[in-house]
Every structure is written in C-alpha cells, then in structure tokens.
Amino acid sequence: LHLISGDDWGGAPDIDHTNPKVQQELSDWMNWLKTEVGFVGWRFDMVVGYAPRFTKTYVEKTSPDFAVGELYRSVSLGSDGKPLANQDKHRETLVNWVNDAGGVFYDHYIEWGLMEPIKKLTEIRKRNGITATSSVNILAAENDLYMAKIDNKIIVKIGPKLDLGNLLPSNAEVATSGQDYAVWEIK
C-alpha cells in the first residue's frame, strides 16, 4: 500500500512519490537520461496524479534546461454545454500548480523574452526567503508608482516614476532593475 498525493487514474499504477527511495531512483534515472542519453528537459505527464511539490523535487534534483507539466482539467460548462465565461476555478488550479511546482508562466518566460529578468527575480526571492505568505507593507500606490517592502528584506518598485523621495532607505542596494521596475535588497 502506498500514498496517493493526487488524482487517481485507472490507466496506470500509482507511484508513491512520498517515498524517498522512489524519489532518489527516479532522480537518478532522470540524471542518467541527461548525461548518457542527451535529454535536456522534461515533460511531466498527468501531473494531477501527484502533488506538485514532487515535480519541484525532481526538477531541483535534475536541473533540466526546461520542464513542462501536462495539467489538464475540464473547464466549467453551462447548461447549454458551452464553456462558461468565468473559468476562475480552472485558472486558480493552474496558478497554484505552477506556484507549488516552483515554476513560471510559459508565455512570459519564453514567448515574451523575459527569461533572464524572471531568473534574476526568482533568485532574489529565493535568496531572501520570500514566499506567497510573506508580509507586504505598501509604501506607495500611485498611478505611476507602486512600491512595497516585503518581509523587511526587499523593496519592489513598479511603474515609470523615478523620483522616489524618501521611500528608499539608505541601506537598500539595487538587486535588479528593468523597464519600469526595480528591486532592492535591504542590507
């Protein structure tokens, strides 16, 4: 008997991803595929069958150049059988999976050319232990400027305004910046 951490599907046996031996053996096999066969990335199939934290584990243990998870859920339908305009539940499922698997939204990362800025922002977030439950103190919320201090570790600025007045403490060092955004780490 083993634990199921996701949806059950009769078409294949369940794998106990909670078992450290299973995690290690799958990771070893995946690393073999990278080093000996030449794989550079992963396509995680039927990711609703196990918790997204395990996808994150396998990505962290194998460091692929690229990984994608197949997460398919039926959309909400109206009484006429057509998709409803409000698909928030479906969207929330996708957003939560991407977040819990440690991923980013494909379009922004690949198609919009934001790979390097997103990598930098992700590194800053990890380095400072910023999570979805971090405290946020909004410093400014204007039509051309939004600034917030997060966990008293970083300050984020969004918007074109450059005159920040006294919003930025002297112990803040620029960690990264780009068009209409900047992030400072508080030292």
Which residues are identified as catalytic? 45, 70
In the chain, which ranges are E strands?
41-44, 66-69, 136-142, 145-150, 154-158, 172-178, 181-186
Q: What is the dihedral of CA 140, 131, 174, 158, to 10 degrees?
A: -40
Token output for 162: 């450059």
Token output for 65: 């150049």
Residue 111 sits at φ, ψ, to 5 deg, of -70, -30
